[in-house]
C-alpha cells in the first residue's frame, strides 16, 4: 500500500467520494497526486486501482513511486549484475497503460542501513558508485518516469543526522548515503559519484525536455536522447566499462566522434538549427 497506510480501494473511495468533490466545490486549484508507493511493483498495482475508476482518475494529476524494490527482493546493489532489473518493467507497464494522460515520478530512493545490510560502509566516497545510480536513472527514465529524485542531499561523514521514528520504521543508527558529504571535523566537502551522474541530468535535461528515440548499440554504453522546446538536442551517454569506449553520434546528417572515459557519464548538446 502507499504511505497513507490506507488500502487502495479505500483510498479510491476517499478521493472520489470526499477529497476530489470538496476541492472542486471550493475551487481549490491544488492538484492531487497519489501517495508515494514504496516500490515500482506496488505503484503498478495501486495506481491501477485508482486510475481505472474514472470517478477517481478525474481528480488525480500525478503518480509518485519510490525505488526501494531491492529491499523487497532482499538484494544488495553490489549483487546486481548486468543492470537488467525486473522492477523497471512495472513502471514501463504503468506508463503504457496511462500514456499521455498522467505523469509518473520516481520521488525517493537512497542507500540506508536501517533494515538493510550493505557490503560496503555508508556513506560512500568512491566515484564508481555513481555508475550504479546512473543505471537507476537511465532505467526509470527509459521506463517512462518524467522525474527522478534522490532522498538525501547533504549528510555528514557518519551518514547522518537521521530521523528516529519507530512508528515510521526509522530506527536508530539509520546511516544513509547523500549526494554531498560534509565532514564535520575537517570541513571537507565530497561530491559523490551520485552527485555527478545526477548533475548531468539536472543541469542539461530541463523540465521542458521530452525524451526522443535513439538507435544503435555499443557494449557497456547506454544512451538517452532529449529534445527541448527551443530545438536543442541533449544526449546522455554512460560508459560502465573499465576502459574507454569510442562512439559515433549521428544527427541531422552530421557525425560527432567521441571517446567516453572508463566508468563515466558524458553529455552532448546540439543547438537548434
Q: Let me know whether 138 and 256 are in one domain.
A: no
Q: Is residue 82 very low, low, confident or very high in pLDDT (cuts 50, 70, 90)?
A: very low
Q: Let me know whether 179 and 227 are in one domain.
A: no
> Cα(142)–Cα(91) distance, rounded to whole angstroms?
9
The whole-angstrom distance between residue 145's C-alpha and the CA centroid of its chain comes to 7
> In this model, does residue 167 exceed pLDDT 80?
no
> Cα(244)–Cα(49) distance, rounded to whole angstroms?
47
> Cα(262)–Cα(243) distance, rounded to whole angstroms?
4
Q: Let me know whether 61 and 83 are in one domain.
A: yes
Omega prior to 123 cis, within 30 of 0: yes
> In this model, does residue 26 exceed pLDDT 90?
yes
- The arithmetic mean of pLDDT across residues 205-226, rounded, is 92
> In this model, does residue 19 exceed pLDDT 90?
yes
What pLDDT is recorded for position 112?
82
Average pLDDT of the chain, as a whole number:
88
Among 205, 231, 261, which residue terminates a domain? 205
Q: Let me know whether 114 and 163 are in one domain.
A: yes
What pLDDT is recorded for position 172?
82
Q: Let me know whether 143 and 223 are in one domain.
A: no
CB of 123 closer than 8 Å to CB of 156: no
What pLDDT is recorded for position 114?
57
40, 42, 48, 50 alpha-carbon torsion, rounded to 10°: -120
The pTM of the whole model exceeds 0.85: yes
For 237-273, the pLDDT digits (tens) are 999 999 999 999 998 888 899 999 999 999 999 887 6
**How many independent structural domains does the chain possess?**
2
For 102-114, the pLDDT digits (tens) are 899 999 999 887 5
- Which structural domain range is residue 254 located in? 206-273
What pLDDT is recorded for position 168?
73
Look at residues 6, 40, 174 and name the one whose alpha carbon lies nearest to residue 108. Answer: 40
> In this model, does residue 137 exceed pLDDT 60?
yes
Q: Let me know whether 28 and 40 are in one domain.
A: yes
Phi first, then psi, for residue 136 (nearest 5°) are -65, -50
Q: Is residue 75 very low, low, confident or very high in pLDDT (cuts 50, 70, 90)?
A: very low
Higher-scoring residue by pLDDT: 215, 197:
197
Q: Let me know whether 59 and 148 are in one domain.
A: yes
Q: Let me know whether 189 and 266 are in one domain.
A: no
Q: Let me know whether 94 and 193 are in one domain.
A: yes
> Cα(139)–Cα(201) distance, rounded to whole angstroms?
13
What pLDDT is recorded for position 173?
83
Amino acid at each position: 500500500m502507499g504511505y497513507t497506510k490506507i488500502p487502495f480501494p479505500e483510498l479510491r473511495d476517499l478521493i472520489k467520494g470526499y477529497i476530489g468533490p470538496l476541492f472542486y466545490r471550493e475551487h481549490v486549484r491544488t492538484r492531487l497526486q497519489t501517495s508515494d508507493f514504496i516500490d515500482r511493483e506496488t505503484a503498478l498495482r495501486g495506481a491501477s486501482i485508482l486510475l481505472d475508476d474514472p470517478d477517481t482518475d478525474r481528480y488525480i494529476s500525478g503518480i509518485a513511486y519510490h525505488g526501494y524494490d531491492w529491499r523487497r527482493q532482499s538484494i544488495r546493489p553490489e549483487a546486481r549484475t548486468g543492470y537488467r532489473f525486473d522492477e523497471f518493467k512495472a513502471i514501463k507497464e504503468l506508463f503504457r497503460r496511462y500514456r499521455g494522460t498522467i505523469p509518473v515520478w520516481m520521488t525517493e530512493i537512497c542507500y540506508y542501513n536501517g533494515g538493510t545490510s550493505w557490503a560496503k560502509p555508508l556513506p560512500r566516497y568512491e566515484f564508481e558508485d555513481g555508475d550504479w545510480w546512473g543505471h537507476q536513472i537511465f532505467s526509470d527514465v527509459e521506463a517512462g518516469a518524467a522525474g527522478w529524485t534522490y532522498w538525501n542531499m547533504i549528510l555528514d561523514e557518519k551518514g547522518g543526522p537521521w530521523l528516529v521514528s519507530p512508528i515510521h520504521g526509522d530506527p536508530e543508527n539509520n546511516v544513509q548515503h547523500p549526494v554531498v558529504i560534509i565532514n564535520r571535523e575537517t570541513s571537507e566537502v565530497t561530491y559523490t559519484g551520485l552527485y555527478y551522474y545526477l548533475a548531468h541530468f539536472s543541469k542539461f535535461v530541463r523540465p521542458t525536455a521530452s525524451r526522443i528515440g535513439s538507435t544503435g548499440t555499443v557494449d557497456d554504453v547506454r544512451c538517452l536522447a532529449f529534445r527541448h522546446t527551443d530545438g536543442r538536442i541533449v544526449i546522455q551517454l554512460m560508459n560502465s566499462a573499465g576502459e574507454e569506449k569510442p562512439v559515433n553520434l549521428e544527427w541531422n546528417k552530421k557525425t560527432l566522434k567521441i571517446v567516453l572515459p572508463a566508468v563515466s557519464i558524458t553529455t552532448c548538446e546540439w543547438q537548434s538549427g
